[in-house]
Homo-oligomer: A and B are copies of this chain.
């Protein structure tokens, strides 16, 4: 297809949705991507760049001539433009911003001044605001005639002369009201979101009140933008993915990242894990005389540690998820901790019995069965407590439990598991 046949390509991509163009870009090789865009030229919709992975986006923008980027940016909605700009270096940002008309540039620059992943970054700065004394008829006429309206909108915002928010009107309320009715008679109370709010908290507000759009206000309470629910869907998706990856010790990673980026995102956690693994080995080292005399202990000890590790991971994952969705809060914390302790004891008891029997059959030693059973109960209980208490404690200290929990939890279950098993064995067999 890339036989330089620009017309055909243009005809083809014009029929595609933005997300389909993005998929097409992802499939192409590194060289083909900017070539395709250059061939399509001005009719390429830059919104497609918001739907490809970060690395691909940066590479494409690196290759494209500036005048094409400038032309593309003029057509973009402000939230898409910010999304594309925020991953670039400051130099590249400045270079692109220089090519953009003053008014749009100021809005973009203001959005970029808000912290990363804040409502101010995700909002659209193009919205409809009307005064409360207008009638429905006047507002409708205004919308029919205005040319610079956003492409999609669900609500009208009502503001005073200083752009302070008074309320909002849903479009379906507008449609169902007669023309002479005034706006303030049909407006509803509005949910304000401060521009500095983290996007995750903004998403929670949307879910809590089932919003389709929300007003974003600056520190002075003035309306500066609108967050719409289709952006929130992406935020929810993104945040859930981040938690999942963080729990596994992976940084902010996408499948299109380079080997170097991937290695960098995974090394820290592997280093920490090496340290905790060495710590666990040091604990085993305390019992070298015991192990020398009874090799069965060396054979069985990974089972105790592994079961504890898995039970703890289960509890921890449930806790981290519940903290993220605010399902676990000070009100039910006591109940939940108590219940996890019970579950730990029940599971510990069940697997102590099972593993005790296995050990007796395997090595023909009742003592060994007893020791591994007791160690299993101890470690499963430790696993339950660590799995629930560590995420809660981290959250209390304002550390993201998704990122830091695994380290502490696996350290506890490894150390407790090996220590309980080997020390009980040393005591029981007197070695």
Q: A175 with B273: in contact, given A233-B232, A291-B295 (CB under 8 Å)?
A: no
A contact residues, total (Cβ < 8 Å): 108
Query: Which residues, 182 to 240 on A, are CB-close (under 8 Å) to B?
Result: 203, 206-212, 229-230, 232-234, 236-237, 240
Which stretch from A4-12, A158-166, A253-261 is at the chain B interface? A253-261
The verdict on A397 contacting chain B, using a C-beta distance below 8 Å, is no
Q: Are A310 and B269 in contact (CB under 8 A)?
A: yes
Residue A299 at the chain B interface, CB threshold 8 Å? yes
Dominant secondary structure at the A interface? helix
| A38 close to B (CB within 8 Å) | no
Question: Is B266 a contact partner of A343 (Cβ separation < 8 A)?
Answer: yes
Q: Are A255 and B327 in contact (CB under 8 A)?
A: yes
Q: Which of A241-286 contact B (CB under 8 A)?
A: 241, 243-245, 247-250, 253-256, 258-259, 262-263, 266-267, 269-270, 273-274, 277-278, 280-281, 284-285
Known contacts A177-B144, A295-B292, A299-B288; is-contact A346 B259 (Cβ 8 Å): yes
**Contact: B255 with A281, CB < 8 Å?**
no
Q: Is the CB of B143 within 8 A of A175?
A: yes
- In Å, the complex CA distance between A428 and B137 comes to 89
Task: For the A-B complex with A241-B325, A243-B244, A270-B307 known, give 18 more contacts whose Cβ atoms are closer than 8 Å.
Answer: A144-B176, A152-B170, A154-B171, A171-B172, A233-B233, A236-B237, A244-B317, A245-B317, A249-B310, A255-B332, A262-B339, A274-B354, A277-B303, A281-B299, A281-B300, A291-B295, A292-B292, A295-B298
Q: List, sorted by A's number, 30 A–B pairs whose CB atoms are closer than 8 Å.
A: A19-B208, A140-B176, A143-B176, A152-B170, A154-B172, A203-B233, A206-B230, A212-B230, A233-B233, A244-B321, A247-B248, A248-B316, A254-B327, A255-B328, A256-B332, A259-B342, A259-B343, A262-B340, A263-B346, A269-B314, A270-B307, A270-B310, A278-B303, A281-B299, A284-B298, A292-B292, A298-B298, A302-B302, A302-B414, A306-B414
